[in-house]
């Protein structure tokens, strides 16, 4: 007589696995970095794009010239070798008021340009947000992402902005001295 084998359920193994050893050491050590400036870089970039109408190329240009002080068009062309900027980014930024002509071309002296107050404010806000020193506004009056006519992408970024603001509050409370 043949013996019938026992039916197994779907996904059930033929032979049970041996029990795991209890004395396995967990040697997982992770040191968290002291600085995580770029954790929310995408959220901050999107906020600046929506609030000020700057794309990543234009923001990168402002970040580059922020510390330059006065610069010439030749300086800009040299920096274009490093960055893949649009051909017309300089003219667009000049027309839109992010940079202005500090000194016009005269004789053999080149025209000098500098970043405007508006441009300096954007860069300063960007750095403060990256360093968790400043929250992103959650009011529709100060932030177009929170307007009632927001699209789907804006609504997704709202949640990320709230998480960012919670992290800013946590970092601020960690650094404040206990009295």
- Domain for residue 159, yes or no? no
| CATH number reported for the structural domain that contains residue 108 in this entry | 1.10.10.10
- Domain for residue 177, yes or no? no
Tokens in use for 21? Answer: 């050893």
Q: In terms of residue numbers, what domain contains 54?
A: 41-135
Helix H or strand E segment including 43: helix 41-52
* pTM, to two decimals: 0.76
What's the domain count of the chain? 1
- Domain for residue 17, yes or no? no
pLDDT single digits (tens) 150-173: 899 999 999 999 999 999 999 877
- Domain for residue 70, yes or no? yes
- Domain for residue 122, yes or no? yes
Q: Are 144 and 50 in contact (CB under 8 A)?
A: yes
pLDDT single digits (tens) 80-129: 788 776 778 889 999 999 999 999 999 999 999 999 999 999 999 999 99
Beta-carbon-side half-sphere exposure of residue 52 (alpha carbons within 13 Å): 23
């Amino acid at each position: 007589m043949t013996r019938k084998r026992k039916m197994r359920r779907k996904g059930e193994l033929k032979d049970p696995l041996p029990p795991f050893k209890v004395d396995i050491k967990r040697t997982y050590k992770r040191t968290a970095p002291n600085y995580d400036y770029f954790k929310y870089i995408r959220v901050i970039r999107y906020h600046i794009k929506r609030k000020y109408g700057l794309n990543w190329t234009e923001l990168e240009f402002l970040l580059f010239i922020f510390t330059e002080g006065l610069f010439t068009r030749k300086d800009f062309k040299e920096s274009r070798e490093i960055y893949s900027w649009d051909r017309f980014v300089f003219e667009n930024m000049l027309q839109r008021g992010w940079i202005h002509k500090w000194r016009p071309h005269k004789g053999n002296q080149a025209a000098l340009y500098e970043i405007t107050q508006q441009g300096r404010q954007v860069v300063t806000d960007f750095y403060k947000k990256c360093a968790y020193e400043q929250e992103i506004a959650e009011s529709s009056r100060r932030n177009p992402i929170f307007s009632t006519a927001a699209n789907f992408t804006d609504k997704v970024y709202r949640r990320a902005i709230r998480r960012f603001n919670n992290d800013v509050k946590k970092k601020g409370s960690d650094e404040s001295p206990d009295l």
